[in-house]
Structure 1
């Protein structure tokens, strides 16, 4: 029994390690792509077969620059990311000074009510973390000098 449990734990650890490595690789590719765009290398930032409307893409980029939003790492759909940015910005602008707990609670409640339970949020100007999350439920970003980690965990029923 112990051998099977150890093997299962080892396989799970390996799976998570591979997943994190793929996230790191994806982030490196994004950073490299941004560097190339700044240098003016490539075809003007449009991918072959890209169906985006350029003005709309530029409008979104301008909005995010206005908000000083920087995505640090993400495993979340763009629509959910935009929702998180908007909610965080609205909450931040309603505060005379940063209240990390209040901002974290506002984001958590918003995502719990909109997308279901088990969302967690960490907010601060300096913190470290190591978390596991559900697939498609991770966003680490900053607005100005405030860093926000928003993630979802799996909810499993308790057997009694």
Structure 2
């Protein structure tokens, strides 16, 4: 009977991981499509001789990826979220930015995302495959990573 329970748990974990991967792939494709659409609009504005919104150019140039093991669509989502949060505050609040990124990724891609934000910090972390991003936006550094979640033993 116990072997059957172990096998059932193993299959359940496998199916859960398949569902998560499928969800990730679908959301990545949608995010990439949205990003391409925005890039086409900017290119069209430039061809027509119109000024591209200065803020958009300035913000894009201020982001620098330091290290990454994350699909580009997820990276863009992190950048977009960081821009939105930083744009909505007069003074940088590291705690608020870290909380916003963590909540965004936890709700979209499942639990166990962690975020460290600051101007000077050290770290040595273990992350899940495809779940690591270290970038800077202006003078703020952001470390976003995911760890594996193991079910509690009974």
For structure 2, the residue ranges without an aligned partner over 5 or more in a row are 1-38, 44-51
Q: 2:134 & 2:115 partners in 1: Cα distance? A: 10
Which of these residues, 136, 147, 153, is aligned with residue 153 of structure 1? Answer: 147
Tell me if structure 1 keeps the 8 A contact 2:127–2:148: yes
Residue 96 of structure 1: how far off its partner (Å): 1.1
Residue 64 of structure 1: how far off its partner (Å): 7.0
Paired position in structure 2 for 1:112: 106
Q: 1:134 to 1:99 in 2, by over 3 A?
A: same
Q: 1:113 & 1:64 partners in 2: Cα distance? A: 29
Paired position in structure 1 for 2:97: 103
Q: Secondary structure at the match of 2:128?
A: coil
Count, aligned residues: 104
Structure 2 length as normaliser, TM-score? 0.63
Structure 1 length as normaliser, TM-score? 0.60
Q: Which runs of 4+ in 1 moved over 4 A?
A: 62-65
Q: 1:100 & 1:114 partners in 2: Cα distance? A: 21
Note the alpha carbon deviations across 1:33-52, whole angstroms, 9 max, x for none.
Answer: xxxxxxxxxxxxxxxxxxxx
Paired position in structure 1 for 2:138: 144
